[in-house]
Structure 1
Amino acid sequence: MITIEHLTKAYGGQLAVADVSFSCPPGTVTGFLGPNGAGKSTTMRALVGLAEPTSGTATVGGRRYRDLPNAGRSVGVLLDAGAQHGGRTGREVLTLASRVLGVDRRRVDEALERVGLAGRPAGKRVGQYSLGMRQRLGLATALLGDPQVLVLDEPANGLDPEGIFWMRGLLRDFADRGGTVLLSSHLLHEVEAVADQLVVISGGRIVAQGSKSELLAGTGGTLVRGPDRALLAKALEVAGIGISAGPDDALVADAEALAVGQAVAAAGVVLTELRAAGGAGLEDLFRSLTGSSHEVQEVQA
């Protein structure tokens, strides 16, 4: 259980985060979203003991990170995939981490296998790794101590589409087995695919938080596409269904798919695509909440 309560962090006279409060219960993935400079990294650094709060608390299981016995066995952390010794091999990085954590050396091979770095990649020096390979090694390090909590800042940077899909499954499996995940990412579609709840921060303050379904309710609609866009639009308008421009030549109808399909069928208009338009829901929500970093209104769902 991650609990952030009235967290404030100032650097000199500059507030990085102000009165931030949210929690991440076991069995969930929490997507922590916000534009650059919004306060995500500061909040996560305070949580794992790398920044001292000016006021408020950031705890795991009711204890500060620095007060946890052998913290790496409770909390797996990946904040910067580049912060690894470039002269060591992947296996050496994990072997040293296993000694610090006091875990069986056999877990090194298990971790390398789990993140797809077993075999030849394990023997390569980290300085020769791509960014995606460094991300995988960082995840292996975070998972090495078999923690109950993961704190991950932009873990998908540098991963190819297959790697992103793999990471999504890994995090979903971790949460489904009772783990707690706090995930910061700019890849909104991936966050939407894996997160159970969302926390949005802008200008150092929380502007929205709640379950994904609560926050995205009403932001979707139905995407429709056909060979004659004008006829399609007219059929929906006649049926009293509001429309807006969608991607490419598609339309987004403000109604459920069944109602849209029935209206179009009644008009005798041909459809080539009919599906939920939820893929843009989180992007729309994000833009609406973080469009201005100067005027922040606190909204909670």
Structure 2
Amino acid sequence: MIAVENLTKRYGDQRAVDDVSFTCEPGTVTGFLGPNGAGKSTTLRMICGLTPPSAGSATVCGRPYRQLGNPGRHVGVLLDASAQHAGRTGRETLALAALTMGLDTGRVPERLARVGLDATAGKRRVRAYSLGMRQRLGLAYAMLGDPAVLILDEPANGLDPEGIYWMRGLLREFADRGGTVLLSSHLLREVEAVADRLVVIGKGRILTQGDKNELLSAAGTVVRPTDPAAFDAVLRTMGLTGTRSADGTVLVPAEPEAIARAAAGAGVVLLELRPAGAGGLEEMFLRLTGGAELEEATR
């Protein structure tokens, strides 16, 4: 499993990651979501021992990543598909990784085939690979040592729809066999389809986390009033407290009809009134993050 406890990273006076805590359990896929600049990649780099934290800790399989003996046999990591040696072939890339991990290089052709790279692709130099092919090679590399944990940053970038569907099945199968997956991605529809748990981060802090189905079916109503102050007064008369989001909506723990009647009685106009969770992960993400990176989040 992965355990992140009060992880913080400061660059001067700026906190790129601020007191972040979450866990990823075996048998689950955890979607790690947030706009650009939210602190996702920095968090993943700290988990993998590439960036030292200013405070807090992260462990994988019960130990800090740097203390794992032969880490590729425990944790498969794909943080940057373009970081592979451009002058090597795909087959050479995996063969060298296998030798480094003390594995039989005879498994390389099968591992390439598993990610959709045939013998011809295996003989090509990585510089000739498309981004999608590099992603597939990176996944083969990450899974080469039969690890118990996968940590992946934007692994679907460059994949066509068929490739994204294939990757989703691969990760689901890995988790169903007892593996742990931490997946960072802007492709919200794909995360919603494969993830069991969600962690949403914004400006370096956790905005929400928990079971995907519970988060998406949270009880309450999303309201967008024309006069926020007047609507707050309505809520006080109802004995309720709303949670205001960055996009101007308010999440209220009450049924839509009760809210509508109270607002109408007070003469408060509502521009939006609907059950929370009706818009799925995209709606929740945009409500929490204020619509940042709308184009990327919905592509």
TM-score relative to the length of structure 1: 0.77
Q: Which moved more, 1:8-17 or 1:169-178?
A: 8-17
Question: Which residue does the alignment assign to 2:210?
Answer: 210
What is the alpha-carbon distance in structure 2 between the residues aligned to residue 254 and residue 288 of structure 1? 13
CA distance in 2, matches of 1:220, 1:134: 43
The runs of 5 or more residues in structure 1 that have no matched partner are 222-239, 243-252, 256-276, 294-301
DSSP 3-state at the match of 2:69: coil
Q: Contact conserved, 1:2 with 1:24, CA < 8 A, in 2?
A: yes
Q: Which runs of 4+ in 1 moved over 4 A?
A: 218-221
Once the two structures are superposed, residues 28-71 of structure 1 have per-residue CA deviations (whole angstroms, 9 ceiling, x without a partner) of: 00000000000000000000010001110011122000000100
- Describe how 1:243-254 pairs up with structure 2 within 5 A: none
Who is 2:229 aligned against? none
Change (3 A) 1:6 1:218: closer
Any conservation in 2 of the 1:9–1:15 contact (CA below 8 Å)? Answer: yes
- Show CA shifts across 1:253-292 (max 9, x none): 968xxxxxxxxxxxxxxxxxxxxx96x4100000111118
1:140 correspondence with 2:136: no
Q: How far has the Cα of 1:218 moved from its partner?
A: 4.9
- For 1:292 and 1:124, the matched residues in 2 are separated by 41
Aligned to 1:22: 22
The amino acid that maps onto 1:286 is F
Correspondences of 1:1-301 after superposition (within 5 Å): 1-218=1-218, 280-291=279-290
Preserved contact between residue 103 and residue 145 of structure 1 (Cα < 8 Å): yes
Question: Contact 1:17/1:43 (CA < 8 Å) preserved in 2?
Answer: yes
Which letter does structure 2 place at the counterpart of 1:127?
R
What letter corresponds to residue 84 of structure 1 in structure 2?
Q
Deviation readout 1:60-98 (Å, 9 max, x if unpaired): 122000000100100000000000111111001101111
Question: Counterparts of 1:292 and 1:18 in 2: how far apart (Å)?
Answer: 21
Asked if structure 1 preserves the Cα contact closer than 8 Å seen for 2:9 and 2:54, the reply is: yes
Query: C-alpha separation between the residues in 2 aligned to 1:213 and 1:288?
Result: 17
Structure 2, unpaired ranges of 5+: 222-256, 260-272, 293-299
Alpha-carbon deviation of 1:119? 1.4
Q: Offset of 1:128 from its aligned partner?
A: 0.4
C-alpha spacing 1:124/1:57, structure 2 compared with 1 (3 Å): same
Q: Could you tell me which amino acid in structure 1 is paired with residue 4 of structure 2? A: I
Query: Residue 270 of structure 2 corresponds to which residue in structure 1?
Result: none
Residues 219 and 192 of structure 1: is their aligned pair in 2 closer, same or farther, counting only changes over 3 Å?
farther
CA contact (8 A) 1:28 1:196 kept: yes
Tell me the distance in 1 between the aligned counterparts of 2:134 and 2:69.
Answer: 27
Question: How many pairs does the alignment contain?
Answer: 245
- The CA deviation at 1:12 is 2.1
Distance 1:163 1:96, change over 3 A: same
- Using a 3 Å threshold, how does the CA distance of structure 1 residues 283 and 220 change in structure 2: closer, same or farther? farther
Secondary structure of the residue aligned to 1:82 is: helix
Matched AA of 2:135: Q
Asked whether the 8 Å contact 1:219–1:284 carries over to 2, the reply is no
- TM-score normalized with structure 2 length: 0.78
Maintained 8 Å contact 2:86/2:127: yes
Answer with 103-112 or 44-53: which moved more: 103-112
TM-fit CA distance, 1:220: 12
CA distance in 1, matches of 2:107, 2:183: 24
Partners of 2:49 and 2:64 within 8 A in 1: yes
Q: What's the offset of the Cα at 1:13?
A: 2.0
Q: Distance in 1 between matches of 2:195 and 2:39?
A: 20
Provide the C-alpha distance between the structure 2 equivalents of 1:200 and 1:97, rounded to a whole number of angstroms: 33
